[in-house]
Amino acid sequence: MALLRLLLLHLAVSAAADALTPDGQALLAFKAAVLQDPTGALANWDATAADPCAWNGVACSSPDPGSGSAQPRRVVALSLPKKLLVAALPRSPLPSSLRHLNLRSNRLFGPVPPELVAGAPALQSLVLYGNALDGQLPEDLGDLAYLQILDLSSNAINGSLPTSILKCRRLRALALARNNLTGSLPAGFGAQLTALERLDLSFNGFSGTIPEDIGNLSRLQGTVDLSHNHFSGPIPATLGRLPEKVYIDLTYNNLSGPIPQNGALENRGPTAFVGNPGLCGPPLKNPCAPSSNPSLSNDGGDSSAPEAAGGGKGKNKGLGKIAIVAIVLSDVVVILIIALVFFYCYWRVVSSKDRSKGHGAAAGSKGSRCGKDCGCFSRDESETPSEHAEQYDLVALDPHVRFDLDELLKASAFVLGKSGIGIVYKVVLEDGLTMAVRRLGEGGLQRFKEFQTEVEAIGKVRHPNIVTLRAYYWSFDEKLLIYDYIPNDSLSAAIHGKPGVTTFTPLPWEARVKIMKGVAKGMSFLHEFSPKKYVHGDLRPNNVLLGTNMEPLISDFGLGRLANIAGASPFVQSDRVGLEKEQSQQSDASVSPLMSKGSCYQAPEALKTLKPSQKWDVYSYGVVLLEMITGRSPSILLETMQMDLVQWVQFCIEDKKPSADVLDPFLAQDSEQEDEMITVLKVALACVQANPERRPSMRHVAETLERLNGSS
């Protein structure tokens, strides 16, 4: 009887396995290759299940409503990142319907088998980052016509990049960093892969020249990282055709020759080119050797040649006597002129000293000025060493900063944004630490001591609602500010949504109260308790960042001052994104000229004086409050009249509009919190009073908002 039961159980399991879809059977072949599954990621991958769509990490397509018969759903994605799976990738094919495969940060080893990709021709993303894969890349990669993302970084893959990769015309991200790849990039790399948006080939052994056609990759974003390879030859000028926001990292290669100064390569600091001893020219301090002039050698190179027919004897043999005499005489004249100027300056200085002995201090000072005017012996006393100091080390403003400049330069960088004060990058260090780096610009006045004093004072500001400045770097070519990276974008995106993103979830009232309170506390601290009692001068939603728990952090205070010292061109207090486009769309002559969004946050008195005050910040904060409770843009087009948000709210009050017309429609649904919303509206209106003296202090505003019942 026991034997009969075992036989029946075996038959039941076999029947269940036969009932499993082909996609499920392909996945079970993958599971069979897994040697260790310490997190139990595949625990519910059951052979007795008829449908694998409920298995962990598996996603399936939606059923086709137009299909008459009950067709099984197909597996379209397998995502098992960071599960510590130990396995060699199986040679059996994956489900043919698979579009996305993500096995990053596991413990996979061995080569990438051709069968893995050949069996999934519809694959769109292949992410195997952070494993221990080795061997060469299969030529079959080129058969993935729909492939858009290929991330095989941080493995031990060797060999060359297969030429077949050029057939992946839809490829948007190619990340092969930190492998052992060698050889040249395939011919036609830039001409064929024109859809690329991300390119990271760093820390490999690629050699040969950088392809001339790489400038065709006009869709690239963030950092184009070719660093830590063996690329040689000159930097192709076509790299300058890449988008302006792209940061090109060419560090630590064998490149040589002058650095092209065009487009995306223009005005780059030396940090993008270090580690290439053969490179020369700006922005490096290694000047290029002057091009040799062959004319003299050519002129005298025919001394042994027979005389031309009809030519005079010796006429073409080297330089003529008259030319030599003229050169010698011109040299003598130049030397005499220099000597006369030198003697004249010396005579003026000596004579001024003699006069100062007989005519007192006044004459002496006059003689001193003469010495400076001549410029031969005296140095302008205003040129103090501090103004010409160079600082080539990363200066930590926080004892917890454990990275140095070299680690910062090696890190992966992605452009977060660009303004008149420079580019902001998201920088991910090797240990995973993420920082935000603002690049203030290149060149400019060398006022290091002044910059140092200012930046170290800013670095001492510590408050839960203020972004912390952790370190800085100063040199003639680069000025960098290193901040904490804040992950949840800006308050502006939280209020109005991100540009180009259609889905948007409005903030609930409790979250808005938390942000209002946090910003008020941070501004109150800046005004009254910070080392210098700072004025922000440019408070607006774009400069309020949101942390992991949606806590607000004020950014960019003191930035305008630092930009001025560093020689950048600050464009603070104006956000003209899309303004020209909006203006071009206004065809009605009766519409008033559009104002910039940034100007809507400026206090009225800003038009009369250039010196910001704390009352400016109070006004700006009031506009931010109005934006948060109305959900409206800071500038509003009402029928044929353009007005800012303050004017619009005042217009609604004068017209006795109901509160539901003023409040954000999403908030107006919450009638229980209406009293609090009206309280905030009153605080905002007090902050935007036209008379600065009638505006409350930020400390008073913070204390008033603290009485609200919303989350703090």
Catalytic amino acids?
538
Taking the alpha carbons at both ends of the chain, their separation in whole angstroms is 70
Distance CA 40, CA 27 (A): 16
In one letter, which amino acid is 344? Y
- Structure tokens, 243: 């988008």
In a 3-state reduction of DSSP, which class is residue 643? strand
* Count of CB atoms situated within 10 Å of the CB of 200: 22
Nearest to 138 by CA among 155, 106, 116, 166: 116
CB 457 within 8 A of CB 472: no
The residues with which 151 forms a beta bridge, in sequence order, are 127, 175
CA 332 to chain centre: 57
Distance CA 680, CA 710 (A): 12
- Structure tokens, 270: 């030396």
Say if residue 20 is exposed, middle or buried (CB neighbours under 10 Å; 0-12, 13-18, 19+): buried
Distance CA 452, CA 48 (A): 69
- Structure tokens, 93: 């094919």
Helix residue spans in 633-693 (DSSP H): 645-654, 659-662, 665-668, 674-687
Residue 583 phi, psi (nearest 5): -65, -40
- Structure tokens, 35: 């040697």
CB 438 within 8 A of CB 483: yes
Half-sphere exposure of 67 (CA within 13 A, CB side): 8
Nearest to 246 by CA among 272, 228, 270, 213: 272
Distance CA 137, CA 129 (A): 14
Residue 258 phi, psi (nearest 5): -70, 150
Close Cβ partners of 520 (under 8 Å, ≥ 6 residues apart): 621, 698, 701, 702, 705
Under DSSP, the state recorded for 415 is E
Residue 543 phi, psi (nearest 5): -100, 15
CB 596 within 8 A of CB 492: no
Close Cβ partners of 151 (under 8 Å, ≥ 6 residues apart): 104, 126, 127, 128, 129, 173, 175
The residues with which 207 forms a beta bridge, in sequence order, are 230
Distance CA 42, CA 285 (A): 57
Q: List the strands of the sheet with 395-396, edge to edge.
A: 395-396, 469-474, 479-484, 434-441, 422-428, 412-419
Nearest to 196 by CA among 223, 235, 231, 232: 223
Residue located via tokens 């039941």: 12
Distance CA 514, CA 324 (A): 85
CA 481 to chain centre: 13
Residue located via tokens 């912390």: 468
Question: Pairing mode, if any, of strands 230-233 and 254-258?
Answer: parallel
DSSP 5-26: HHHHHHHHHHHHHHHS-HHHHH
Distance CA 539, CA 485 (A): 19
Nearest to 143 by CA among 110, 104, 111, 117: 117
